Amino acid sequence: MPRVRVRLFAEYYDLAGKRRELVLELPPGTTVLDLARLLEEKLPGLRGRLVRGDKIPEDTKVLVNGRNIEWLRKEKTVLREGDTVAFFPPAAGG
């Protein structure tokens, strides 16, 4: 089973109970969307933040090994052993 490192930033870090990083073993073939659902299940403070309907919200930035999933297969990107996945909430500002 592939082990991946998950990093949570800004608001996601706070909502996850100040957990900045997790290492998870995932079944082969797990996608970024599957991972986001698993995180919402494991960390109730994140529920409704990482997944809306069947998608990761467009204003949420997700990087796999430093590459934006928009340039990969989006939420269908399959995770592999040793991957690092970073979740960044929408940026506030004005």
Q: What is the pLDDT along the chain (94 residues), one digit of tens a residue?
A: 899 999 999 999 999 999 999 999 999 999 999 999 999 999 999 999 999 999 999 999 999 999 999 999 999 999 999 999 999 999 855 5
For the chain, the maximum distance between any two Cα atoms, rounded to a whole number of angstroms, is 43
Measured in whole angstroms, how far is the alpha carbon of residue 5 from the centre of its chain? 10
**Backbone φ and ψ of 63, nearest 5°:** -115, 135
Residues 6 or more apart in contact with residue 26 via CB below 8 angstroms: 1, 2, 3, 4, 34, 35, 38, 79
Q: Are 66 and 74 in contact (CB under 8 A)?
A: no
**Residue ranges per domain, the chain?**
3-70
pTM of the model: 0.94
β-pairing, 84-88 vs 3-8, is parallel
SS3 content of the chain, % helix, strand, coil (to 5): 25, 30, 45
Q: Which CATH class is domain 3-70?
A: alpha beta
